[in-house]
Amino acid sequence: MNTTKTIKSALISVFDKTGLEPIVKKLHQLNVTIYSTGGTEDFIKNLNIPVVAIEDVTSYPSILGGRVKTLHPKVFGGILNRQDNETDVQQMQEFDIPQIDVVIVDLYPFEKTVASGANDTDIIEKIDIGGISLIRAAAKNFKDTVIIPSVNEYSLFLDIISNNNGESTFEQRQTFASKAFNVSSHYDTAIFNYFNKNHEESVLKISETKGDILRYGENPHQKGFFFGNFEKMFTKLHGKELSYNNLLDVDAAVNLMNEFKNDNPTFAILKHNNACGIATRKTLKQAYLDALEADPTSAFGGVLIANSRIDLATAEEINKLFCEVVIAPSFDDDAVDLLEEKKNRIILVQKQVDLPKTSVRSCLNGILVQDKDLKTDSKQDLKIATTTSPSDEEIEDLIFASKICKHTKSNTIILAKNKQLCASGTGQTSRVDALNQAIQKAISFQFDLTGAVLASDAFFPFPDCVEIANKAGITAVIQPGGSIKDELSIDYCNKNNVAMVFTGIRHFKH
């Protein structure tokens, strides 16, 4: 059976007319009858190309301010009829329904209208009814009908009809149908999520139409993909393609540095999603050097991020280190020139965009969704639990350490001093193990922990942690509190002049 179809008629009703002109001219050259309505009809007329108004087919005007134009049996009969079905063929003749071989649609820009901050009335008017119905009808009948569902497919369609004298194959029509249902499902998802923005229904609908194929996933034997708009968030100046693991580290780096975006120059170095070094200083160069000091071994091959413009002086220090990615809100030109000396080093300029407020991850045979931990501990949140109060400098260090702790794998302990990460204990099954790991690491890099502070992501069920910390020289502790045995930790601190504050907020990161 010959499944190749010759286009003899086309219905065109589009919002975005970019690239439409050559298609219309080609269809006219192929002697295709063109049907249209509204602004698209005017566009075609202005090209001096014959066009049949849909109103002339339906004998019904566009009504309700243009809300109803194509919704008519003569239109949808022309799209949905099965050309190999005898009854359909008879009814087409009986009701004088014209055959429509191709439908070209581009929907009202609902998502762009929402993103523009338009009011509800304008947004509702951008919910396409006729267009989405045309797309679904033509895609359903792809055996006989070609559906071009968006401006993104104009070029492909033009190539096909130009190279094949107006003919399409079954496989091509099926491909366009797949694209069409992708467009329609994404469109409906966007509309639902707009109406469900207050999460009145516990329903998860995610639709991402832009996917990048990665070299592989976490390991070479795993496939990997990234669905999102990376270019909206970053301008990539240099370097190789980002890997799955690079993207996870970049995500961790961005979320961490978001805590310090309004602080003095701050530099962080991350490895395997955790900060191995971070410091806040008067200059970015010094912030980088002090961040590196925390763990120069782990910094090798890490992801680096700054909260301010990277200048040449800072770049000269960075260039001494092998690192995968460098991120900053901006770079001096000479700093970029220097950093580009390493051909694979990825250099990213971070743009100011809103990050998602929910997190999604697969779990068992389903999906877990939660609000992101958007709570940042501040001085106003601190409740002094001990007779010894922390000094102003210790309070600043406690807040600094708490910000890092929030973005470090649980169980975690953060040790900091003078707004510099001394060491962290990450991902341990015991909080005591996390603390001992942090202390030993700090000692191995020759940090003097006398006067340092400690941050814990959750409460202490026993006083063992504050005792170990005190013996290491730590003088102030920040933790959520809430253990039934809080008093044991408080009593130890009171006896040993250790200041401890409660926040009332736990920051688990599993």
Burial of 198 (0-12, 13-18, 19+ CB in 10 A): exposed
Burial of 147 (0-12, 13-18, 19+ CB in 10 A): buried
* pLDDT score of 443: 96
Helical segments of 54-206, H only? 54-58, 73-80, 86-94, 110-115, 120-125, 130-140, 154-163, 170-195
Q: For 337-365, b where at least 16 C-beta lie within 10 A, e where not — what string?
A: ebbeebeebbbbbbeeeeeeeeeeeeeee
Q: What is the pLDDT of residues 221-269, one digit of tens each?
A: 999 999 988 999 999 999 999 999 999 999 999 999 999 999 999 999 9
Q: What is the pLDDT of residues 338-348, one digit of tens each?
A: 999 999 999 99
Query: Measuring CA to CA, how many Å separate 385 from each of 416, 479, 488, 494?
Result: 20, 10, 12, 9
Give me the half-sphere count of Cα atoms (radius 13 Å) on the Cβ side of residue 309.
Answer: 8
Instruction: Report pTM.
Output: 0.84
Q: What is the pLDDT of residues 354-367, one digit of tens each?
A: 888 889 999 999 98
* pLDDT score of 186: 94
Query: Measuring CA to CA, how many Å separate 311 from each of 259, 333, 405, 475, 505?
Result: 22, 8, 28, 36, 37
* pLDDT score of 476: 98
> How much is the CA Rg of the chain, to the nearest whole Å?
31
* pLDDT score of 203: 84
Q: Is the dihedral of CA 137, 143, 148, 150 positive or negative?
A: positive
Alpha carbon distance 460, 293 (integer Å): 29
Pairing of strands 476-479, 453-456: parallel
* pLDDT score of 2: 62
Q: What is the pLDDT of residues 389-402, one digit of tens each?
A: 999 999 999 999 99
The residue ranges of the chain whose pLDDT is under 50 are none
List, by residue number, the catalytic residues.
Answer: 140, 272
